[in-house]
Amino acid sequence: MLATDELDEAWRVMKMFEDDRFNFRLADFPAECRQHSAGERAKSYRDLLRQVEELAGTFAVVKIGSAHGHELVKLVSRSPAEAIPVCLVAGIHGDEQDGILAALDFGRRFVQDTYRLTIYPCVNPTGYERMTRENVNGKDLNREFFRASGEEEVRIMERELSSQEFIGFIGGHSDYESFGLYAYATGAVLSERLAKPALFQASGIIPINTDPVIDGHPATDGIIQEKFPGSLGPLTKGTMEPFEITIETPNLFALRKRVEAQALAFETILQEYRAVSSEAMYL
């Protein structure tokens, strides 16, 4: 599957050159590269759902609503009642497969003891199929949250977030401008404490972006502590502010490596949270 996904990535990146997103044009590339941009290409959301269904067993696969003729689903781990509820959200930008594949990868390895993990594997099915950041209406869904958006995907996710209480929120994205791995750590103060080791572990696969400004935000050792207005995140309902971490992997690296790095970051965040909360018990 990943081999096809890598070819999709090659097509998508070449398409960005074709669309004049960069200084170089498609014509500047040798013919062997240009052939990757030939024709039209689309991904199949139905095939993705098939991969999601394969996780039924460890997880319950639950339909959460329909947008543009596509059924949005979540995976909820069959964990004990006292398990800690966390959620993992991916695929809000349709041209960023990293989070989707990493979430599924992590789901396959997930052991349902400490956490009740809810995975939203693909929030933007029409963007996924078209390999575009925006949905079929041309909307960047990650700027539409909590501002009375009419986009169906946004309303479905807002309903999800307001009806549940997660102690942690993890997002998976990718970035075509960054040369390294980085993270948004917002929400609870704890977020930074969890994001640091996650980046450190994943830096064995992809180096950290150490620029002082990343994606327009001030950053320290690959960690940004601001967020874009309208971006998808947890809803605080009074008792405890959830941690909120978004892992960003750079497009420059092979998809396989990006997925591996991102899944390792997700795993490290949850390991660290467990360590921090058991420390807190003895304070």
Sole residue written with tokens 């039209």: 40
Minimum distance of Zn ion from residue 60's CB (angstroms): 27
Answer yes or no whether residue 93 interacts with Zn ion by CB under 5 A: yes
Minimum distance of Zn ion from residue 172's CB (angstroms): 9
Q: Which residue is nearest to Zn ion (CB)?
A: 173
Answer yes or no whether residue 43 interacts with Zn ion by CB under 5 A: no
Minimum distance of Zn ion from residue 133's CB (angstroms): 7
Cβ closest to Zn ion, residue 127 vs residue 187: 127
Pick from 264, 276, 274: which is nearest to 115 by CA?
Answer: 274
Q: How many residues bind Zn ion (CB under 5 A)?
A: 3
Distance CA 13, CA 59 (A): 34
Minimum distance of Zn ion from residue 22's CB (angstroms): 18
Stretch that binds Zn ion, among 36-44, 45-53, 94-102, 177-185 (CB under 5 A): 94-102
Answer yes or no whether residue 74 interacts with Zn ion by CB under 5 A: no
DSSP 8-class letter at 28: G
Cβ closest to Zn ion, residue 96 vs residue 192: 96
Pick from 193, 197, 174: which is nearest to 97 by CA?
Answer: 174
Q: Which residues contact 272 (CB under 8 A, 6 or more apart)?
A: 193, 194, 197, 198
Query: Which residues in the 164-223 window bind Zn ion by CB under 5 A?
Result: 173
Question: Residue 267 corresponds to which tokens in the numbers above?
Answer: 């795993």
Q: How far apart are the first and last CA of the chain?
A: 47
* Residues of the shown chain interacting with Zn ion in the complex, contacts defined by CB under 5 A: 93, 96, 173
